[in-house]
Amino acid sequence: MYIAAVILSVLLALVSLAAGAPKAQLKGDVPDGLVAKGLSSALVRLIGLAEVAAAAGLVAGIWWQPLGIAAAVGLAVLFLGAIGFHVKWGDYGDTASRSAAVVPVLFVIVAVATAITLAASQ
């Protein structure tokens, strides 16, 4: 179970870091799009910093599982917020934006699986 926990933690950390770094720096199309849809730049930066911190927590959680579990649960909550944001903007009904809106659904499942495998590997 430990190997699965490590693989899921590293995968989720990489995704979280890749998604969070541009938001934390407010650089790129994604932060601009979020600001255009009504989020403040401070909130976008906070979300990005939370994703980067979760990536660090997931990596550290490989050696100290309670931190990894907390990071995975935090990411699951963050991804649930992203799902709510996509629902609010009708992205699941729009074929042009549906593929981007499905990503948080996939990663909330990965985050929950990561938390469960980390808990089981203690």
Q: Where are the domains of the chain?
A: 2-120
pLDDT exceeds cutoff 90 at 9:
yes
% of the chain surpassing 70 pLDDT: 100
Tell me the pLDDT tens digit for each residue of 22-74: 999 999 998 998 998 889 999 999 999 999 999 999 999 999 999 999 999 99
SS (H, E, C) the chain: CHHHHHHHHHHHHHHHHHHHHHHHHCCCHHHHHHHHCCCCHHHHHHHHHHHHHHHHHHHHCCCCHHHHHHHHHHHHHHHHHHHHHHHHCCCCCCCCCHHHHHHHHHHHHHHHHHHHHHHHCC
Q: What is the pLDDT of residue 91?
A: 85
Candidates 37, 23, 33, 116; CA nearest to 78 is: 23
